[in-house]
Structure 1
Amino acid sequence: MSLFLQTLVLRGILSSQQERAVESFSDVEEFHMKKILTQYGVCALAVALMVPLAQAQAQPAGVQAAFGKDAGTLSDKFTALARVMSGKYDWKPGQGVRSVGDVFNLIVVENGVLAGVLSGTPNTGAKPAPITDPEKLQEALKASYVNLQKAITGLSDNDLQAPVKLFGRDMTKQGALMLILEDQHEHLGQSIAYARSNGVVPPWSK
Structure 2
Amino acid sequence: MPRIPGFPGEYLGELDMARTQLLALADAAPTQLYEWSPAPGTRPFSAVLVHIAVANFCLLHLAGVRTATGIELYGEWEPDDPVQRLAMVRRNLATERAIVDKPGTIDFLRRSLEAVQLAWLDSSDAMLEQPRSFIGEETTRRRLYLRMLVHTHEHMGQAIAYARTFGMKLPWPDPLAGLENMPEQMPADPVPTA
TM-score by length of 2: 0.67
Contact 1:89–1:101, Cα closer than 8 Å, also in 2: yes
Stretches of structure 1 that go unaligned for 5 or more consecutive residues are 1-59
Contact 2:60–2:144, Cα closer than 8 Å, also in 1: no
Contact 1:118–1:152, Cα closer than 8 Å, also in 2: no
Shift of 1:116: 2.8
Q: Which amino acid aligns with 2:116?
A: L
Q: Which position in structure 1 is the counterpart of 2:24?
A: 80
Shift of 1:136: 2.1
Name the larger-Rg structure. Answer: 1
Q: Percent identity?
A: 28
Q: Which position in structure 2 is the counterpart of 1:66?
A: 10
CA RMSD of aligned residues (A): 2.3
Q: Which position in structure 2 is the counterpart of 1:9?
A: none
Q: Which position in structure 2 is the counterpart of 1:5?
A: none
Stretches of structure 2 that go unaligned for 5 or more consecutive residues are 76-87, 175-194
Q: 1:94 to 1:137 in 2, by over 3 A?
A: same
Deviation string 1:79-101 (CA, Å, 9 cap, x unpaired) is 12212223211211112222211
1:1-206 matched pairs, under 5 angstroms: 61-85=5-29, 86-121=31-66, 123=71, 124-125=74-75, 127=91, 129=95, 130-205=98-173
User: 1 or 2 for the larger relative contact order (CA 8 Å, sep ≥6)?
Assistant: 2
Number of residue equivalences: 148
Contact 1:90–1:101, Cα closer than 8 Å, also in 2: yes
